[in-house]
Each structure stands twice: as C-alpha cells, then as structure tokens.
Chains A and B, each alone.
Chain A
Amino acid sequence: MAKMIGAKILVESLIREKVEVIFGISGGAILPVFDVLYDAPIRFILTRHEQGAAHMADGYARATGRVGVCMATSGPGATNLTTGIATAHMDSIPIVAITGQVPTYLVGNDAFQEADVTGITRPITKHNFLVKDVKDLARTVKEAFHIASTGRPGPVLIDLPKDVQIKETEAEFPREVEIRGYKPTYFGHPGQIKKAVQMISKATRPVIYAGGGVIISGASKELIQLVEKTSIPVATTLMALGAFPENSPLSLGMLGMHGTEYANYAIMDCDLIIAIGARFDDRVTGSLDKFAPEAKIIHIDIDPSAIAKNVQVDIPIVGDVKNVLRELNKIVKKPAISGWLKQIGEWKKNHPLTYKRNGKLKPQYVVEKIYEVTKGEAIIATEVGQNQMWAAQYYQYTKPRTFLSSGGLGTMGYGFPASIGAKVGCPDRMVFDIAGDGSFQMNIQELATCVHNKIPVKVAIMNNGYLGLVRQWQELFYKKRYSAVSLAGNPDFVKVAEAYGAVGIKVEKEEEVVPALKKAISIDKPVVLDFLIEPEENVFPMVPAGAPLTEMLRGLA
C-alpha cells in the first residue's frame, strides 16, 4: 500500500466517488488540497463567492441527481458556504461540502481564519465530520457521500484541519461503509400498503399531494402509473413541479399559498389525501386547523419524522417513494370518482390560472413565452419571491429535475449560481434562471464565473425595481406602507452584463419578448435579459399566511 498525504487521500477518494466537478474558492487552510487538485482529473470551478459555490453544487445535484461538491477554506470561506448548505438541507439535496480548518493544535485557540465550522453547521447538515486523524479520512469521505445521497438526502460537511492534509499514512480506501446508527427504511410495510389500497378503493373524492420526495426518489414513472390506474388527480408542491406532467388533464398544478384555485379547492374538499414524499409545510396547508377537514390521510415518506409532524395521519407508510408506489401499483384498485372529476373539471373551467393583459409588459407573459420558445425543454432555476412564483405558475413542467428552486429556506440569490451548476451538470440542456432584480444582485458576481468558464446560462430578470413579494405583502397587509422595498439605485443590468463579458438585452415591450428570447438562445454565451415589467404586478391567487386555503385573494375579482 502506498503512503499518501491527507490531501491526496481526499482527492483520490473524490475520484473514487466519481466526482467530476468541484465548485469553490481556495484559501490558506486548504492549500495542500488545492496543490493536489492542480493535476487531478477533476474540473474545478472557481467561484467569486463561496455562497455561489454551495448553490452551484446544489443546482448540479438537483439537475443531475448526483452529489454536488463544494469547497472552501476555513473561517470566512466556510461561513460563506452556510447559506447554501442550509438551502440544500431544507430541500433534502445531496451535497458534500469540504472545508479547510486551522491545524488541530490551533483548533479552539482563536487562530487566524478559525471558526467552529462543525458547530455552526450542525443544525443545517444531515451530518458533519471534523477529521482529526488522517487514518480516518478515506472512510470519512466514503461515509459522507453515502450519507448525503441515501435515505432522505442532505448536505454533509467534512472539516479538514491543515495538518491532517499534509500528514502521511498508508492509504486504504473502503469499498463499503457500515454505519450502525444509519439504516434508512426503503421498503414500505406490506400490511400498511394493503390498508392504503383499501382506503383508496373506498374514496369518493381523493387527491394525490405529491412533494419533492417523488423527484428525489426518481418515482415520476411510478406516480404516473398510479394515476393511470386510478384517475386520481395530482396536486404538486413547489418542490415537486415536474414530478407529474402538468399538461395531463389530471394535473391540478401547484397547491398552497400561490397554488391554483382548483388545486386548493380540491385538497380542501377531498375525502382522501395521498401524500407522497411531502411534508405538509405551512406554505402548502395554510391554516392547519381548517386544512382538509374531511380528509383521511395516507402519508408515504422515507423520513419517519416527516410523518404526523404537522397533521394526524391515518395510514403512515415509511419507505422509499419509488418502492412503495411500485408495490402499491401492483394491487391498487380504481375508486368510483367520476362525480369528483366532473367537479374538478368545473373548478378548472371556472377558476383558471390567469392574469390581466393591458399592453404593458407582464411577468406572467414573459414566463409563458420562455416556455414557448424553449418548447418546455429547458431547466428553469429561480430566485425567490415573485419571480419564483410566476416561474412556478406560468411555465408548464412535464419532467422531473427541470425546476430548481429554494423551496424550504427561500434563499434569494440561489437561482443564478444554481443555474450555473445545472448547466455544468447538463451541458446539452438549455438552462434559464428566472430572476428578480433584487435576488440577482445577491450573487451577481458569479457572472464572472460563468463568463470565464464559458457556461452559457440565460438570466431573465423580472425587473420591477422592488423587492416585489415583500412589496406585495406591504400593499395587501400593511396599507401600502412601502418600507425599504424600493431598489432605486439598481444598475443598468445590460451594462453590468457587458462589463463582465456577457451579453445584455433590455426588453420593455411585449412584442420584443420573443425576439429577445430567441436571440438569447442563439448566442452561445451567458445572456442577461432585463425585462422591465409592470412594477406593481402581484402574484395571484394568494392565500394570506395562516388563512385556510379556500380564502384566496384573486387579482381579477
């Protein structure tokens, strides 16, 4: 067995995990690793801020289904990663973050660029490691990738002191890991599945409530089969957009705070909810006391702690969604629900998702045109706020891993770096970031990263000069007292794009939208499209926070 230094063992381990790209920034406490990376067969993408690196690893993971890797130095490098790590944690995204640390003999001494990184990231990682002995390193990396990518996935951080990076040892790379406290349940209990089949067969007004777990588990095909066998309509969460084709007549689109009226009516009026890989988040349920009063609930999830957390469940099924649906599909029986489907058809007809055209540039129109011009084939990343909701509502998602958005944490600044990570992982796909002028500026520095690395993502800024969703809340709930939401002082985004070496296009009128989009797609470079939309356009429908889902505010009433 060859002797190797810690840094070499780390990089060797990453190669064995088939890591093809790392996003990050170097620094003093991780120099030995970068020295080994210098001639390693792994692409390194130098970002301009560590937050960008974490979101890129996350976007890469969401788009490809593989583990994303980011790297930073100790102290500020590591603390800058934390927003990205927390984002991945809330949405169960597998990333491995590797941070340099001050040498073990200085840990705890307030050394230069020291921070207690395992302490800081404990509540925002699935697990983390401080490697104090180089002999533990290879096994730790193996465990980190295993933990990140299995069960309910999530971010794992490895904190690696500098002296461990240069310490030599006989390198032994384990093929398998056995962690006695970590044994996810992958197969649903057959008795529970049988009970679910019975409950489904007796339902008269059932709804499937599909969450991000369907995408993570790779269970879209099984979900479609379940719907083909039962004709039960499907409402998806923000995280599940694309898990079920939205062009299917049985799709209800998104439910919840900014969901479709018919999805919310259906879930509130149903007698059975089949929750699949979802967690009854407050943005989905509205007022819990008044949520779906007549519904029995079947809840399928790999994470037992997600079940019965917010609502009482009649039939819990712990297991991997794909496995459980496979077993369920073998024996499920079609319920008699023609009356229910007729009712839903009426809701759909009478309360469609719509907005008012008035000749001004509407963000919903822009998103619709992005859908048309990309033929629905693009990967869409979003920022957070109004842009995110319009992107969710007006682009029809038909395939999993095509909508990348910070659902749980709601991180502004997520979309642009995530789109870069997605494009790196899927270079043949068209990738758009649907952005707001506020969010885009939170990681605008990554323009340098994508220009320099020739990563031709397209950014579509819904520029309204406001922190738009906050302004909307202030308009509706704070008597239009617009406190600190104006983004007066915004730069000229076209010039900013050009300064970085990207292409900028300003769009002010409806008729310019399609030509601008076509032009952006035809250019093999990063393009920033600055859509000057109607400043006070709102996202509707909207359920006020804490209200029941039936109390929707409508823009057109």
Chain B
Amino acid sequence: MKHIINVLVENKPGVLARISGLFSARGFNIESLAVGETENPDTSRMTLVVEGDDRILEQVTKQLHKLIDVIKVADFVGEKPITRELLLVKVSLTKGTKPQILQIVNSFPEARIADVGEKTITIEIVGEEDRIKTILDLLRPLGLKTLSRTGRIALPRGSK
C-alpha cells in the first residue's frame, strides 16, 4: 500500500540522510520526498511517499520516531489528507498542437502556462494526484518532452 508520511525534524545537516537511510537499508524506494522549513525556522517538515508492506512500514515509522532529530511522525494511513504537488512540464509546440494545449490548460484550474518558447511551452501544474494524472495523460500524446515534479506535500484536513 502507498503511504504518505509526514516527518517533523530538526532543521540540521545530516537529518535527511538519517531518514532516507532507514528506507534504503530495507531496499524501499522513496517515491517522492519534499522538504522545507516550517513556520518555525528550526524545524523542517518532510513529506515522504513510499510504497511497501504495511507491517514493515509501521516498523519504519517507529524507527523514524526513534531518531533523535525527529520530533514527530504522522503516517496518513486510512486518512485523506490535503495533498498538493507542483509540476513543470515542457511540451513540444507546433502549429497543430497549440490550440489543443491551450484548451487543456484552460479546462483545468490546476494548470497554467509558465513559459512559452519557440518550440516548446512550459506548463505549471499544482494539484492533487489524480487531477495531475489526468492532465499528464492528455498532454502526453501531444509531445511531452521534460517533466519535473516536487513530490507531494501533505497536511491533515480541518483544524488538526
């Protein structure tokens, strides 16, 4: 099962290596990882998306908690947190495809144009996983050239 895990950590060197080490030692691939300062500059929040056996991931979560630099761990298992991811997508630009690309961008509030070049157009997409997937599926046949994504970030819903 896919797990979204939020880890609140000390904003210090070496912390990322400690955390990724717990996954790599078990041969788990981290699907995505996003890190940034929180409201408190001494603290960073990491959001990891990992696919793996539930029991092993529960064990990893406990071991994350054991790390001295880790302040809090939340695995959003069985919950639907708010998630967002930012993508930059370069698509080939030809006379024939331009209207189609613009139509896709206009039909999805998650997408907007970030840059236009002679031969390519760069689209920025911010949204949830399934919406992003839909937009990418539509863009792909038009000549998707380069894709860069930040990885998901997540927060619980409501006032939690």
Contact = CB atoms under 8 A, between A and B. Distances in A.
B59 A181 contact: no
B71 A180 contact: yes
B63 interface: yes
Interface stretch (A7-15, A123-131, A516-524): A123-131
Contact of B14 (A130, A179, A180, A309): A130
Contacts of B10: 180-181
A122 B59 contact: no
B65 to A, nearest CB: 7
Interface string B64-75: 011111110000
Given A122-B17, A122-B18, A181-B10, A127 B62 contact: no
9 contacts: A130-B13, A130-B14, A180-B10, A181-B68, A181-B71, A182-B68, A304-B62, A305-B63, A305-B65
B48 to A, nearest CB: 17
Contacts of B14: 118, 122, 130
Interface in B4-42: 9-10, 13-14, 17-18, 21, 25
A119 B17 contact: yes
Contacts of A180: 10, 71
A309 B25 contact: no
Contacts of B25: 123
Contacts of B58: 308
A304 B62 CA distance: 7
A308 B25 CA distance: 20
Given A118-B14, A130-B14, A305 B21 contact: no
A127 B63 CA distance: 13
A179 B66 CA distance: 12
A147 interface: yes
Contact of B69 (A119, A181, A303, A304): A181
Contacts of B66: 303-305
Given A180-B71, A181-B67, 11 more contacts: A119-B17, A127-B68, A147-B68, A180-B10, A181-B10, A181-B69, A181-B71, A304-B66, A305-B62, A305-B65, A305-B66
A305 B68 contact: no
Contacts of B68: 126-127, 147, 179, 181-182
B110 to A, nearest CB: 36
B67 A309 contact: no
Given A181-B70, A181-B71, A122 B21 contact: yes
Contacts of B69: 181
A21 B18 CA distance: 31
B133 to A, nearest CB: 35
Contacts of A147: 68
Interface residues of B, number: 19
Contacts, number: 36
A122 to B, nearest CB: 6
Nearest to A119: B17
B57 to A, nearest CB: 12
A309 B9 CA distance: 24
A304 B65 contact: yes
A127 B59 CA distance: 19
Interface in A117-173: 118-119, 122-123, 126-127, 130, 147
Nearest to B61: A305
A434 to B, nearest CB: 33
Closest 4 CB pairs of A and B: A305-B62, A127-B68, A181-B71, A182-B68
Interface in B64-96: 65-71
Nearest to A126: B68
A309 B59 contact: yes
Contacts of A126: 68
Interface string A292-329: 00000000000111001100000000000000000000
Nearest to B17: A122
A118 B69 CA distance: 14
Contacts of A182: 68
B127 to A, nearest CB: 32
A21 B1 CA distance: 51
Nearest to B25: A123
Interface in A236-292: none
Nearest to A143: B68
Contacts of A123: 21, 25
Nearest to B10: A181
A179 B21 CA distance: 22
A182 B13 CA distance: 18
Contacts of A309: 59
A309 B56 CA distance: 8
Contacts of A119: 17
Contacts of A118: 14
Contacts of B65: 304-305
Contacts of B9: 181
Interface in B100-147: none
Nearest to A182: B68
Nearest to B13: A130
A147 B68 CA distance: 8
A304 B64 CA distance: 11
B64 to A, nearest CB: 9
Contacts of B17: 119, 122
A305 B63 CA distance: 6
A123 B21 CA distance: 8
A265 B12 CA distance: 51
B150 to A, nearest CB: 25
Nearest to A303: B66
B11 to A, nearest CB: 12
Nearest to B72: A181
A46 to B, nearest CB: 31
A126 B65 CA distance: 12
B70 to A, nearest CB: 5
Which of A118, A123, A180 has the most C-beta atoms of chain B within 10 angstroms of its own C-beta? A180
Contacts of A130: 13-14
Contacts of A305: 59, 62-63, 65-66
A320 to B, nearest CB: 16
A118 B17 CA distance: 11
